[in-house]
Amino acid sequence: MELQNNLIDTFAEFKELKNIDRPTMIGVLKDVFTSTLSKLFGEDSKFDVIVNDSNGDIEIWRSRVVVDDDEFVDEYTQISLSEAQKIDEDFEVGEEYSDEIKLENFGRRAILALKQNLQAKILEREKDNVYLKYKDKVGEIIVGEIYQIWKREILVLDDEGTELILPKSEQIPNDRYRKGDTLRAVVLSVELRNGTPYIKLSRTAPVFLERLFELEIPEILDGLITIKKIVRMPGERAKVAVESYDERVDPVGACVGMKGSRIHGIVRELHNENIDIINYTTNTQLYIQRALSPAKISSIKINQVEKKADVYLNPDQVSLAIGKGGLNIKLASQLVGYTIDVYREVNEDEDDVDLDEFSDEIETWIIDELKSIGCDTARSVLDLNVEELEKRTDLEEETIQEVIKILKAEFE
């Protein structure tokens, strides 16, 4: 009885910890007993394992066929007629004889093996349940508690204690984490590694931003507004193209909300990531124009075959189109699916010189740095002051001063 109680305690303990439903647990228990019985009494033996659903008591009944004494050859599958009639004299050859096998008769070694097999099976079933549960949650937002912080990843626990991983590559650069903090992220992928579910979370994936929009903006969840595409530089900037199927609904206004009330909640979650919401259109020229906002474009030349667009702007709009570190133009290109090149419109009455003409006086990498912010001519550089150039490039003040001196000399 002590051995049985020990086994049942193990059964109850794992049911409590692993949150597996009772019918499943009983099925696991029967499978484990049947496997052990086959090893002890042979694979041809027939057993019926009965688990009492109310108290967990286990009964094991073995079935054997009654045979003539001279045909008796296998004690595990047969019982002789004379032996059967000692129990009940009405037994006849060919009938089925059932007797109960007590757990105490198994021996301690068999009981220990049963317990270990039970634990292994339950853990295996629990892993399968976790895998299937989270396989259906890919692309959904989950809320978890930060349990452990490592250099390359963070361990997060959900409300059932399931372990989830947020790798460094999926963390927003500005995120700061502490153990015990609550974290929101999207389930990016689920896979089995050596039989154990590996659930990867993300806060940088575009789908995370999409789910945040659905949470904050009812019109998106209701289908009145559709998100056509999202591109992000996590923690820096994002562009979201939206479209409304109801002409009475302004998709951009609905996403921003009264005084920015809706978008502010999303921006806070993403640690002040700038979000540009753009009204989607199939008019490529207009779409590019909107994507490059806040810059005001003078004209656009589109090559639909090569998916290229040459954009012309007034000098004071070039840096706005390109953005800090070229981020605005990069995201705009990703959003519309075109390679965008920005060109500065020059007044025909105004002399100007291409920066490449100064390659014998200014190092190539400095010229490239200036071009990256839209300054491809001498006057486009001179139109900006030293502070502005230092802020927008990685150049030292001393270097900028020297460049300005060289360029000014050209016009003096």
* Domain map (residue ranges) of the chain: 2-133, 137-202, 355-411
Partners of 230 in the β-ladder: 240
pLDDT number for residue 91: 83
Q: Which of 11-15, 146-150, 288-292 has the lowest mean pLDDT?
A: 11-15
Give the model's pLDDT for residue 176: 87
CATH-assigned architecture of domain 2-133: 2-Layer Sandwich (3.30)
Q: Which of 45-54, 143-152, 206-215, 304-313 has the least mean pLDDT? A: 45-54
Q: Which of 130, 132, 194 is nearest to 164 (CA)?
A: 130
**Percent over 70 (pLDDT), the chain:** 90
Identify the pLDDT of residue 1: 46
Name the least confident of 2-6, 39-43, 338-342.
2-6
- Average pLDDT value for residue range 295-300: 89
CB 196 within 8 Å of CB 215: no
For residues 189 and 138, is the Cβ–Cβ distance under 8 A? yes
Mean pLDDT of the chain: 84
More confident residue, 247 or 141: 141
| Residue 141 confidence (pLDDT) | 95
Q: Which two tokens stand for residue 77?
A: 């599958």
- Answer yes or no: same fold for 2-133 and 137-202: no
Determine the pLDDT at residue 273: 92
The C-alpha R_g of the chain, in whole angstroms, comes to 36
> What does the pLDDT average to over 41-60?
72
**For 96-125, how does the pLDDT look when each residue is reduced to its tens digit (9 = 90+)?**
888 877 776 676 777 777 777 777 777 777
Find the range with the poorest average confidence among 32-41, 66-75, 287-296: 32-41
According to the model, what pLDDT value does residue 10 have?
A: 55
Q: What pLDDT, on a 0 to 100 scale, did the predictor assign at position 334? A: 95
Query: Does pTM top 0.85 for this prediction?
Result: no
Would the pLDDT of 55 be above 70? no
Between residues 221 and 104, the one the model is more confident about: 221
Q: Which residue do the tokens 């027939």 mark?
A: 46
For the chain, report the end-to-end CA distance as a whole number of angstroms.
106
Between helix 284-291 and helix 327-336 the angle, nearest 10°, is: 150
The pLDDT value given to residue 352 = 78
For tokens 């005084």, name the residue: 259
Name the token pair of 41.
Answer: 């009494």
pLDDT band at 411 (very low <50, low <70, confident <90, very high): confident
Q: What is the mean pLDDT of residues 302-317?
A: 88
Closest by alpha carbon to 25, among 16, 36, 34? Answer: 16
Residue with tokens 């003040």: 397
Amino acid occupying residue 356: D
Strand partners, 139: none
HEC per residue, the chain: CHHHHHHHHHHHHHHHHHCCCHHHHHHHHHHHHHHHHHHHHCCCCEEEEEECCCCCCEEEEEEEEEECHHHCCCCCCEEEHHHHHHHCCCCCCCCEEEEEECHHHHCHHHHHHHHHHHHHHHHHHHHHHHHHHHHCCCCCEEEEEEEEECCCEEEEECCCCCEEEEEHHHCCCCCCCCCCCEEEEEEEEEEEECCEEEEEEECCCHHHHHHHHHHHCHHHHCCCEEEEEEEEECCCEEEEEEEECCCCCCHHHHHHCHHHHHHHHHHHHCCCCEEEEEECCCCHHHHHHHHCCCCCEEEEEEECCCCEEEEEECHHHHHHHHCHHHHHHHHHHHHHCCEEEEEECCCCCCCCCEHHHHCCCCCHHHHHHHHCCCCCEHHHHHCCCHHHHHHHCCCCHHHHHHHHHHHHHHHC
Report the percent of the chain where pLDDT is more than 90. Answer: 37
What integer is the mean pLDDT of 54-72?
Answer: 79
Cα–Cα distance, 118 to 121 (Å, whole number)? 5
pLDDT of residue 185 exceeding 50, the answer is: yes
Q: Pick the residue with more confidence: 410 or 244?
A: 244
117-153 pLDDT, tens digit per residue, is 777 777 777 888 889 889 999 999 999 999 999 999 9
- Confidence class of residue 240 from pLDDT cuts 50, 70 and 90? very high
CB-based contacts of 323, cutoff 8 Å, min separation 6: 237, 329, 330
User: What is the rounded distance in angstroms from the CA atom of residue 410 to the CA atom of residue 404?
Assistant: 10
Q: Is pLDDT above 70 for 275?
A: yes
387, 361 in Cβ contact below 8 A?
Answer: no
Q: Are 33 and 58 spatial neighbours (Cβ–Cβ below 8 Å)?
A: yes
Residues in contact with 308: Cβ distance below 8 Å, sequence separation at least 6, in sequence order? 302, 338, 339, 340, 341
Cα–Cα distance between 83 and 64 in angstroms, integer?
A: 12
**Rounded CA separation 165/167 (Å):** 6
What pLDDT does residue 20 have? 62
Q: Is the dihedral of CA 181, 182, 186, 187 positive or negative?
A: positive
Q: Is the dihedral of CA 308, 312, 318, 320 positive or negative?
A: negative
Read off the tokens for 274. 């700038």
Q: Which fold has domain 137-202?
A: OB fold (Dihydrolipoamide Acetyltransferase, E2P) (2.40.50)
